[in-house]
Amino acid sequence: MLTLKDPSLLKNQLFINGEWVDGDSGEKITITNPADGSEICQVSSAGKNETRYAITCAKNAMQNWQSLTAKARSVILKRWYALINENLDDLANILTAEQGKPLEEAKGEILYGASYIEWFAEEAKRIYGDVIPSNNPSQRLITIKQAVGVVAAITPWNFPNAMITRKVAPALAAGCAVIVKPAEATPLSALALAVLAERAGVPKGILSIVVGVSSKEIGEELTTNNIVKKLSFTGSTNVGKLLIKQCADTVKKTSMELGGNAPFIVFEDADIEQAVQGAIASKFRNAGQTCVCANRFLVHRSIYQEFAEQFVAQTKKLVIGNGADKDVSIGPLINTTAVKNIDEMVNEATTKGAKILIGGTDKNLGECFFPPTILINVTTDMRVFKEEIFGPVAPIIAFDTEEQALELANSTEAGLASYLYTQNYSRIWRFSEGLENGIVGINEGIISTEVAPFGGIKESGNGREGSKYGIEDYIEIKYMCMGGI
């Protein structure tokens, strides 16, 4: 039972053009709590028509929004930020119920998500153009920056709050209107954010939320409708590639935050205790279901055993259970399919010679749970090395030289986060420059903050979220050439 201080934050309808409405089909999506399979509520389902309507309304609403001063938009965003903070407990309870992460982590996500709104409320006022020294005495050259247009944002279930604010805040700051399609497993956090946006004074049509039984149907409208000028997507690489293709016909701009396969490299001169702390934080946050989670542990052979022993000792201290219960540090996975997939990966690894030091399948925990697991004797032909695990499994592989470590680290098409543990400053520079990743954590397992650019290279995507760069994904540069002077 979900008890909230403000029950009006729990919505079960679509939010389109400032109205709470049911979908035309009358279909519902059942939202369940992954910790125990219980039903939280049923949410209305949108299809093509509702999505198209939201897009048209966004276009109409954007004209006024765009012509407000940056300061006026900033004031509204700051109010939204404040309301999110005021409703922290309720938002965290909703998030834990629909997604599973421990309550403290959920609170962390809400604060982290809100920090993007605060940041972009400030950045809204700093969208500067240029005056370019002309090479023609009778001309003056200027650039201005304008909102890219109506934005579609498709977001995943692993951060049901923050993945939305990371996109909506810069888009609104720049003067865009946004249609959000949250993951069908976790729409409640998105709808609660919309309640607070409305209270904060975000005008109708500027933020709409559509969710439906068919993401494909909504996705097709969002990616083919020529009113939409920009798609920002966070999710799996396969879906990202499909959406890029769908956006091609109307030449939409895209920002893609796709899968990772983060290497976590521990050199012989690392502070092992610090590395283990980082490993726990990076690997087991959200039960391993983040795109920046350490995926492959590459450890120098001379400290391999010591690292593994300390990693196991710290992992034993983690408490697995319902995220709403006190002291739980690892919640359930999102659904039984995720558990099955991870189970298969671990089995494949052990069949090929990997050894489980701790964890492994445990049918007593509950349908959606998988315990924190550490594997040694891992080889590069195993799925746990090649694929993004998205679960609490840590495969460890030994290396002998720095060159070998770099080759292993880069031997993937993904290029999001990486982690590096060493005390040698020359190696820090050398190795960081050699890593094919958008983000490098150096003696640090938690890297994400609104003030720094988050994003990947290679098949992990394009665009950056947060930082002074984040707003650029939502603006166009217009060059104005003034002649006859």
Chain residues in the site for ligand ADP (CB under 6 A):
154-157, 181, 183-184, 215-216, 219, 235-236, 239, 242
- Please identify, using beta-carbon distances, which residue of 266 and 414 lies nearer to ligand ADP: 414
CB of 222 to ligand ADP, least distance (A): 7
To the nearest whole angstrom, how small is the minimum distance from the Cβ of residue 114 to ligand ADP? 21
Q: Which two tokens stand for residue 17?
A: 């053009």
Maximum Cα–Cα distance across the chain: 80
Q: Shortest Cβ distance from residue 363 to ligand ADP (Å)? A: 24
Nearer to ligand ADP, 219 or 321 (CB): 219
Q: Which residue do the tokens 């939502």 mark?
A: 474
- Smaller CB separation from ligand ADP, 154 or 293: 154
Residue 180 near residue 70 (C-beta atoms within 8 A): no
Indicate the residue among 79 and 101 with the shorter CB distance to ligand ADP: 101
Token duo for residue 427: 């190696």
The first and second tokens of residue 98, run together, are 């629909």
Element (H, E) at 147: strand 140-147
Residue number with CB closer to ligand ADP (145 or 181): 181
Candidate list 50, 221, 257, 472, residue with the active-site label? 257
CB of 77 to ligand ADP, least distance (A): 24
CB of 291 to ligand ADP, least distance (A): 8
Q: Are strands 39-44 and 130-132 parallel, antiparallel or unpaired?
A: unpaired
Nearer to ligand ADP, 157 or 307 (CB): 157
Nearest of 138, 215, 207 to residue 183 by alpha carbon? 215
Give least dist CB 106 to ligand ADP, A. Answer: 18
Residues in Cβ contact with 389 at an 8 Å cutoff, skipping those fewer than 6 apart:
288, 293, 295, 342, 345, 395
Say if residues 400 and 300 touch (Cβ distance below 8 Å).
Answer: yes
Alpha helices in 124-267 (DSSP H): 162-174, 187-200, 215-224, 237-248
Cβ–Cβ under 8 Å, residues 290 and 333: no
**Separation of alpha carbons 275 and 300, rounded Å:** 12
Q: How many CB atoms lie within 10 A of CB 110?
A: 26
We find the least distance from the C-beta atom of residue 237 to ligand ADP, in angstroms, to be 8
* Structure-token pair, residue 220: 């097709």
- What gap in Å lies between CA 110 and CA 98, rounded to an integer? 14
Q: What's the angle, vertex CA 108, arms to CA 363 and CA 9, rounded to 5?
A: 90
Closest CA to 446 of 231, 203, 318, 279: 279
- Closer residue to ligand ADP (CB): 167 or 181: 181
By beta carbon distance, the residue nearest ligand ADP is 219
Q: Is 112 left (phi over 0), alpha (psi -120 to 50) or beta?
A: alpha
Catalytic-residue membership of 257: yes
Catalytic residues: 257
